Structure 1
Amino acid sequence: MGDRVLIVDDDPAICKLLVKVMAANDLEAVVAGSGEQAMVLLEQESFDAILLDINMDGLDGFDVLKRLRGKGIDTPVMIVSGRSEDFDSLYGLSLGADDYVTKPFRPLVLGAKVAALIRRTKNRAAPAVSSCGPFSWDSGAMRFFKGEEELNLSGRERSLLLLFLRHPNQVFTKDMIYESVWGDAGPVDNDTIMVYINRLRSKVETDRQNPKHILTVRGLGYRFVP
């Protein structure tokens, strides 16, 4: 077998079909029957592509996508869903999906699409180390630096800083931060966001009381200036 594909779907029949399609394309398939199981696997193992259903009990496909992108996991994602509305496909792509395929699908075409997605991703693989102003990060090891100094960050702080570094000068509302970093579109916990903003400022700012990088935009949220 060659590259590894994670199949995330709670329908055993669909999973069985997708496993066969992957095998026919010399791809090793691993199945997660729920969004929760998928997140556990993604934090423990590496994959070359993810086939992701939307409609699942508990953590649905959109939630999985938000969480894995919030954690800096860049594995290419193809949503394979029975939902065919334009809104669903556009929303999935806006969250970081690389492709959107509706059910029922043609197995031969889907297999070719997955193989092509993996091939394209490997061909355009970005350098492991990226930079933004004085900050840099190793996307493979999830290590962050300011100049030559490595920043000692918690997992949530890494996700928050990564969000800022990837979108410099963009204003993020508290809703947007909570949804991207915590993967929760429910009621925003303002106190939690403020605690993590202050913690991150204490590690990236020369003077936390007079921040130069993580700025408060009154009435809106926060903006990162590299």
Structure 2
Amino acid sequence: MSKEIKIALIEDDENLRFLVAERLQSEGYKVLEAGNGDDAEKIILEHDPDIVLLDWMLPGKQGSDVCISIRESGFDKLVIMMTAKAQDVDKIEAYNFGVSDYITKPFNMDVLIAMIDNKIKFSLNSDKSESYKFANMEHHPNTHLLIKDGRKVELTILENRILLYFLKNKNKVINREELMMEVWGYNADVNTRTLDMHIVRLRKKIESNPDSPQYLQTVRGIGYKFAYE
């Protein structure tokens, strides 16, 4: 793996920051560190890291404000939010401020590394500012944006993952279990109703008539198919 991959680690807990930084460096990543929101912004905009690991609760500027600010300044790489509380995850889902993904604390270091390795592999294999065009829309997964008829449509983290998976598997019938694994991961304690609810929301954002969807089609008894040539 290239030694030149830079990760900005923004965390005010010095012990945790030390542990994560040490592990990332041992994996061959170059680590930039900051302990508060203001320093974080400076470092990110100055050094343009490949991934930002951003704590939700920070002294000074909150993680969410930092994320909004760097996105407005044109930073379009991956931002992974580190959050301590389950209810914070709900906030991340509810207020979309351009987070690419999140991990909840306390996290297992191996899980964090696997997540980062996976993201890096994806982003190195695809164009830096990855985007997918279909019909009158364009999807930018790293910044969670869907441009429809020239207008921005915000996607939540889960809608973003679902749409990205469909766009990578166009015209393929995807069963619900496969989709749930992809979106929520192994220990997902979600039922198919939750998945269906996210699909309904996503349809409202991409379909001109969500009740009779043109792209995100239901395949009875199996799952879904994203139909697009």
Contact 2:32/2:43 (<8 A) preserved: no
1:69 aligns with 2:41: no
Q: Residue in 2 aligned with 1:51?
A: 53
Aligned-partner Cα distance in 2 for 1:63–1:112: 27
The Cα shift of 1:72 comes to 1.3
Q: Which fold has the larger relative contact order, with Cα–Cα distance below 8 Å and residues 6 or more apart in sequence? A: 1
Instruction: Pick one of 95, 98, 117 that aligns with 2:97.
Output: 95
The Cα shift of 1:170 comes to 5.4
Go from structure 1 to structure 2 and tell me whether the alpha carbon gap of 1:90 and 1:167 turns closer, same or farther (over 3 Å shift): farther
Secondary structure, aligned partner of 1:30 = strand
Contact 2:34/2:40 (<8 A) preserved: yes
Aligned-partner Cα distance in 1 for 2:18–2:149: 39
Provide the aligned length of Structure 1 versus Structure 2. Answer: 140
Contact 2:52/2:78 (<8 A) preserved: yes
Q: Deviations over 1:169-210 (max 9, x none)?
A: 459xxxxxxxxxxxxxxxxxxxxxxxxxxxxxxxxxxxxxxx
Instruction: Pick one of 108, 112, 117 that aligns with 2:119.
Output: 117
Query: Partner letter of residue 168 of structure 1?
Result: G
The Cα shift of 1:57 comes to 1.6
Contact 2:37/2:61 (<8 A) preserved: yes
Aligned-partner Cα distance in 2 for 1:14–1:55: 14
Go from structure 1 to structure 2 and tell me whether the alpha carbon gap of 1:80 and 1:35 turns closer, same or farther (over 3 Å shift): same
Contact 2:48/2:75 (<8 A) preserved: no
Q: Deviations over 1:68-117 (max 9, x none)?
A: 1111101201111102224133146x222111100000001101111211
Q: Residue in 2 aligned with 1:223?
A: none
Q: Residue in 2 aligned with 1:21?
A: 23
Query: Partner letter of residue 39 of structure 2?
Result: Q
The Cα shift of 1:167 comes to 7.8
Query: Partner letter of residue 68 of structure 1?
Result: I
Go from structure 1 to structure 2 and tell me whether the alpha carbon gap of 1:167 and 1:54 turns closer, same or farther (over 3 Å shift): farther
Query: Partner letter of residue 82 of structure 2?
Result: V
Secondary structure, aligned partner of 1:100 = strand
Secondary structure, aligned partner of 2:123 = helix
Aligned-partner Cα distance in 2 for 1:121–1:80: 20
Unaligned runs of 5+ in 1: 129-162, 172-226
The Cα shift of 1:122 comes to 2.3
TM-score (norm 1): 0.54
Q: Residue in 2 aligned with 1:5?
A: 7
Aligned-partner Cα distance in 1 for 2:4–2:79: 18
Larger radius of gyration: 1
Query: Partner letter of residue 54 of structure 2?
Result: L
- Root-mean-square deviation (CA, aligned residues, Å) is 3.0
Query: Partner letter of residue 3 of structure 1?
Result: I
Query: Partner letter of residue 90 of structure 2?
Result: F
Query: Partner letter of residue 113 of structure 2?
Result: G
Aligned-partner Cα distance in 2 for 1:127–1:51: 18
Aligned-partner Cα distance in 1 for 2:66–2:116: 19
TM-score (norm 2): 0.54
The Cα shift of 1:36 comes to 0.2
